[in-house]
Each structure stands twice: as C-alpha cells, then as structure tokens.
Amino acid sequence: MSAAYFTIRYRSALHPDSVTLIVEDPAGDHFMLNCHPDHCRLTPMDDFERLTPELHRLGWQRVPEVAPYPIDALRSLMTGALATHHFPPFLTGTAYTS
C-alpha cells in the first residue's frame, strides 16, 4: 500500500463504466487516475502543462480543491462510486473553472 497523497484537479466521466481523474502529487507532478469497477491505473502525465488549455474542450471538469487523499483512499472512493453509480458530491454537478 502506498502512502503517497494526491490532490484531485480534474475529472472526466465521459465513459459510463469508468471514472478518470487528473491528480497532483506534493511535488507538483500530474497523473491520470483511471478507475474501473475492478482496478485503477495511475499514469504519469509528462505533458500536463501542454494539455491544460484543452481539458475543458475535451470534456474535463475542474474539481474544487480539497485536502489531498492517499492513493489507497482515492482508489477506494472511485471504485465505490462506480459500484454504486454514485459520485461523491465534489465530483458531481456543475463544471468548475479556474
């Protein structure tokens, strides 16, 4: 189990069978966290700064900043949301802009 903490920055729910988040670690590096009901994958985003202007156009929604989560809690949160088809309140509703 990892002790790394991540702050959620963006979410995409364009595919009904998965949830994808862009998260940031304490060092400022960005990762794509893609979760399906049975697994999650954390992928480094070396090109995040280049993609940032396109995120809204591509259907990503900015998430209001909350305290960082340990990666295990994020995985649990996202797989639980998929299992119950219920997003936590901060991941639903209105699109947020920076």
What residue spans define the domains of the chain? 5-91
- Would you say the pTM of this structure is higher than 0.95? no
Pairing of strands 61-62, 30-36: unpaired
| pLDDT at residue 31 is higher than 90 | yes
Give pLDDT tens digits for 46-66. Answer: 888 888 888 888 888 888 888
Based on the number of CB atoms within 10 Å of its own CB, is 94 exposed (0-12), middle (13-18) or buried (19 or more)?
exposed
What local confidence, expressed as pLDDT, does residue 68 receive?
93
